[in-house]
Amino acid sequence: MTAAPAMATSAPGPGGQAALEVDSLRVCYAGLPAVDDVSLRVEPGQVAALIGETSSGKSSLALGVARLLPSSAVVTGRVEIAGTDLAGLPAREARRRRASLVGYIAQDAMAALNPVIPVGRQIAELFGVHRGMHRAEASAQAVRELARVRIDRPERVVRAYPHQLSGGMRQRVMIAMAMALSPPLLIADEPTTALDVSTQAEILGLVGQLQAETGSGILWITHDMGVVAELADVVAVMYAGRIVEQGPAGDLFDHPLHPYTQGLLRTRRDLRTGRPGAPLYQIEGSPPALSAQRRGCAFAPRCARRTEICREQVPELMTQGHNLQAGNGPSDASPSRPLAAAASPAGSASAAGQAPDARQPGPARADLLATGWLAACHHPEVLS
């Protein structure tokens, strides 16, 4: 039940071990890149939200991290979970160690749980296999795990089959299983998408509390900016297999630079504040299919700011601190190692420097640059 020593709740400095470090990950299906050169870092105790829609590659990224992709997927790049290269291990060894390294909370708990085994036994099995517990001991542990995810009368629920539980309770069971072995990293793949809004609120609150207790790093995949606002310390926005913008959650909500991020946030704001019956703000077009021709910026066909260069050249993910001042030309943008989506777990803008190669930013926004705010756009702009 105790977290591994390395997983302290406070974020370590830049030299500390990350819960997850992904470097230049690429996942291809039949030669088509679903995840295209993605790098990101999740600190212990941090919630990193990965926001994206259909075919953005967010699920392929998650499965790639957990080494759960089918063998038809070609994966390159480096993934380290708490310093362990899961992908580099022999298959048997990886299977043995996966549950201790990464917990996976799937969207559809009904499909992820075994329908013919009581949920308690499914949890107990983890302790039997990975901790060598005896049956009675493991069963007692299963009850404690259910209590930990705030399930009432856990000693009864352990005997229930998944279909006997409500969607919210099934999702709690999934969370209990994912966290059972106190892994340093949790991956949540849209776990609240199929839930009612009140149940979603309960689950979000629960995850927030559990994380405060365990200090795991969480990679939370979603398409919902509201979920991001509730949970995330840092945000990475994915579009067509690439991260197009990333940074501390509060700053990203305040001054998004990429037109896609801006569109998503404006869509949401318009839903809340617009007059009933009036037309909604809409982003034109739809996300490209995996098979679509790739040239230049993938968002260009939907972008109001596109120019010739957008059609020709893929914009690099780079620091954008200077853009927060008046000027917004790309002239003095400085490419940096896109590896530093890190702020402190509190999301404060004063985290330790994570963009080492950045040139001198404007003094006004030096703090933001230091938090590793990156965008991949030829024409990043701050909207008022």
Partner 1 sequence: MTAPAPNIEPEVQAGRRAATPVLGFESVSKYYRGLAALDQVSLSLDRGRALGLVGESGSGKSTCVRLALGLERPTSGRLTFRGADYPRSRRRLGTLRREVGFVLQDPYDSLDPRMRLREIVSEPLRAHRLRGRDTDQLVAEMLRAVGLGDAPLDSYPARYSGGGRQRIAIARALITDPAVLICDEPTSSLDVSVQAQIVNLLLDAKRTRDLSLLFVSHDLDLIGRVADTLVVMYRGRVMESGPAELIRSKPRHPYTKSLHDAVPADHPARRKMSTPANLPAATSHPAAGSTARPVVADSPVPAGSAGLAGSTGLAGSAVLAGSAVLAEPTGLAEPTGQSGPDCCVFVSRCPAARARCYAERPPTVTEADGRSHACFFPLAG
Minimum CB distance to partner 1, residue 264 (Å): 6
Q: Answer yes or no whether residue 306 interacts with partner 1 by CB under 8 A.
A: no
Locate 354 and state its tokens.
């994570």
Helix (H, G, I), strand (E, B), or coil: what is residue 372? coil
Minimum CB distance to partner 1, residue 302 (Å): 8
Q: CB under 8 A: which stretch of 22-30, 71-79, 124-132, 163-171 binds partner 1?
A: 163-171
Residue choice 168, 183, 241, 247 for contact with partner 1 (CB under 8 A): 168
Residue choice 268, 294, 306, 337 for contact with partner 1 (CB under 8 A): 268
**C-beta of 136 vs 284, nearer to partner 1:** 284
**Residue 156's CB: how many other CB atoms inside 10 A?**
12
Minimum CB distance to partner 1, residue 244 (Å): 13
Q: Answer yes or no whether residue 225 interacts with partner 1 by CB under 8 A.
A: yes
Q: Answer yes or no whether residue 341 interacts with partner 1 by CB under 8 A.
A: no
Amino acid at 309: I
Long-range contacts at 82-85 (CB < 8 A, ≥ 24 apart): 82/4, 82/6, 82/7, 82/17, 82/18, 82/19, 82/20, 82/184, 82/185, 83/6, 83/17
Minimum CB distance to partner 1, residue 367 (Å): 16
How far is 66 from 57, CA to CA, in rounded Å?
14
Locate 84 and state its tokens.
């362990």
**C-beta of 267 vs 334, nearer to partner 1:** 267
Q: Answer yes or no whether residue 73 interacts with partner 1 by CB under 8 A.
A: no
Helix (H, G, I), strand (E, B), or coil: what is residue 365? helix
- What is the pairing mode between strands 185-189 and 32-42? unpaired
Q: Answer yes or no whether residue 384 interacts with partner 1 by CB under 8 A.
A: no
Q: Answer yes or no whether residue 224 interacts with partner 1 by CB under 8 A.
A: yes
Minimum CB distance to partner 1, residue 119 (Å): 11
Locate 285 and state its tokens.
């077009």
How far is 106 from 295, CA to CA, in rounded Å?
33
**Residue 86's CB: how many other CB atoms inside 10 A?**
19
The pair phi, psi for residue 175, each rounded to 5°, is -65, -40
Q: Answer yes or no whether residue 281 interacts with partner 1 by CB under 8 A.
A: yes
Q: Answer yes or no whether residue 90 interacts with partner 1 by CB under 8 A.
A: no
CA-based torsion, 119, 120, 121, 125: positive or negative: positive
| Positions in the binding site for partner 1 (CB under 8 A) | 53-54, 110, 150-153, 156-157, 160, 163-171, 194-202, 204-205, 208-209, 223-232, 249-250, 253-254, 260, 263-264, 267-272, 274-277, 279-284, 286-287, 289, 302, 347
